[in-house]
Structure 1
Amino acid sequence: METAKTGVDVLFVLLGAVMVLAMHAGFAFLEVGTVRRKNQVNALVKILSDFAVSTLAYFFVGYGVAYGTSFLVGAGTLVGGEGSGFAAQGYDLVKFFFLATFAAAIPAIVSGGIAERAKFLPQLMATAVLVGLVYPLFEGMVWGTRFGAQEWLQATFGAAFHDFAGSVVVHAVGGWIGLAAVLMLGARLGRYRKDGRLVAVPPSNIPFLALGAWILSVGWFGFNVMSAQSVATLSGLVALNSLMAMVGGILSALVVGRNDPGFVHNGALAGLVAVCAGSDVMHPVGALITGAVAGGAFVWLFTLCQVKWKIDDVLGVWALHGMCGAIGGIACGLFGQQMLGGLGGVSLPAQLVGTLAGVVVGFVGGLAVYGTLKATLGIRLDPEAEFSGADLAIHQIGAYPEEAMPVHDDAIAMAAHAANLRRG
Structure 2
Amino acid sequence: MNLRLADRMENAINPFISDILRATARKDLISFGGGLPNPASFPVREISEAAQKVLSEDGAGALQYSTAEGYPPLRELIAARYQKRFGITVDPADILMTTGSQQGLDLLAKLFLNKGDDLLIERPGYLGAIQAFNIYQPNYHAVPLRKDGADTDVLEEILKSCSPKLFYAVPNFQNPSGLTYSEQNRKRVAELMKKSGTIFVEDDPYGELRFAGSEMPCMKSFLGEDVIMLGTFSKIISPAIRLGWVCAKPEIMKYLVAAKQAADIHSDYFAERVVCQYLQDNDLDAHIEKIRTMYQERKNCMVEMARRYFPQDVSFTDPEGGMFMWVTLPEGMSAVELNKIAAEKNVAFVPGDPFYVGERNVNTFRMSYTNSDANVIEKGIRCLGDAMREMTASR
| TM, length-normalised to structure 2 | 0.29
Instruction: Select the structure that is richer in helix.
Output: 1
| TM, length-normalised to structure 1 | 0.27
